[in-house]
Amino acid sequence: MNFGRIFLVKCLLLLFSSVKCSVINRLYKAVNETALLNITAPGSIYHAIWKRDGQRLVQLKDNDVKYFVNKDQCRCKILQNGTLQIRQVVKGDSGNYTVTVYERDGKWKAEEKTSFFVQEPVPQPILSTECLNKTVSVKCEVDHKAKGEEFTIELTQPNGRKIQKNAAMLELQTRHSGTFRCAVKNQVSEKMVEKAIKCSGKLDLYLILSIAGGALVFVIFVIWLIYCIRRRKAKRREGDDEQRMMQTLPAECDRATRELPPTPYAPTPKQVRVQQRPLPQPQGQQQPQPPRPRPRTQPRTPNHPKERP
């Protein structure tokens, strides 16, 4: 039997049985907020020491607090449960924090590490759009002045999205109209802006046919309406003319009856002689006529009385 191997295994079990736990946490806070760095080890805390990047900050032992740095400059405080509180954090408070917990007998109990990050809130993004030749050109811009900080800019369109880290601008072109969203975010804040875009040049076939059909129906309706109006006016004019004619016809008949010439009649012999007599001529144009022969006188026969039978 190999006693060397057995002894080595027992030593390793004894060594690892003394190791309790080692946890690494990540914590993000915005500028001027209050941060709480907790201890996840179970049980009450008798002795705990907090360090930042290897430098001791504060110690809690049997409810007694001891500071290794300026308390006002640290703006930190250790609570009774071992939690480290930092007020009005600044970017200089970022770092790797380590807390070591000990038992009452001085044995090592646990050690926890926390990566603490202080970030500034992201600014409001700017979303600009433009319609070019039936396509939509979209730009998502952000003016992020904080250097060395990670942030994500995201441009969402109806058919997908585009994401990039630490980029000042995202741009895309698409033929699909709809609602576009530009979002900028980091671990402590997020801001976004939305805009509905619809380019007039992007019309589908059904919409074009619908518009054309509606226009054709409207034109036909207008033509039919004009025809009906004119026809009604023409009928009204014909009715007015007939009524006017019926009103004027009796008056015209009476007038014609009054203006008719008298009936011709046979002239008398005297009128005939008068008509046959030549009209007198003017004196300047009258010519002398030859003397007429005098009629011979005939002797009258005597009237003898009739004899009575």
Residue 235 belongs to some domain of the structure: no
Could you write out the DSSP letters of every residue in 156-186? EETTEEEEEES-SEEEEEES--EEEEEEEE-
Residue 5 belongs to some domain of the structure: no
Residue 192 belongs to some domain of the structure: yes
Which of 182, 197, 212 is the last residue in one of the domains?
A: 197
Same domain, yes or no, for 106 and 166? no
Residue 113 belongs to some domain of the structure: yes
E strand map for the chain? 22-30, 35-37, 47-52, 55-61, 64-67, 76-78, 84-86, 95-102, 108-119, 126-132, 135-141, 152-157, 160-165, 169-174, 178-185, 190-197
Same domain, yes or no, for 34 and 64? yes
Same domain, yes or no, for 28 and 92? yes
Residue 242 belongs to some domain of the structure: no
- Give the side-chain half-sphere CA count within 13 A for 200: 0
**How many C-beta neighbours within 10 Å does residue 286 have?**
9
Q: Nearest to residue 119, comparing CAs of 142, 84, 96, 90? A: 90
Residue 145 belongs to some domain of the structure: yes
Which of 119, 139, 156 is the last residue in one of the domains?
A: 119
Residue position matching structure tokens 């226009």: 215
* β-strand pairing of 84-86 with 35-37: antiparallel
Same domain, yes or no, for 42 and 113? yes
Same domain, yes or no, for 25 and 104? yes
Give the pLDDT of residue 72.
86
- Give the side-chain half-sphere CA count within 13 A for 98: 11
Could you write out the DSSP letters of every residue in 179-216? EEEEEEE-SS-EEEEEEEE--TT---HHHHHHHHHHHH
Give the pLDDT of residue 212.
87
Number of domains the chain is built from: 2
Same domain, yes or no, for 38 and 86? yes
Give the pLDDT of residue 193.
92
Same domain, yes or no, for 139 and 92? no
- Structural Rg of the chain based on CA atoms: 66
Residue 74 belongs to some domain of the structure: yes
pLDDT under 50: residue ranges of the chain? 1, 3, 13, 16-21, 202, 284-286, 307, 309
Which of 103, 119, 135 is the last residue in one of the domains?
A: 119
Residue 98 belongs to some domain of the structure: yes
Instruction: Residue 97: give its domain's CATH number.
Output: 2.60.40.10
In terms of residue numbers, what domain contains 96?
21-119
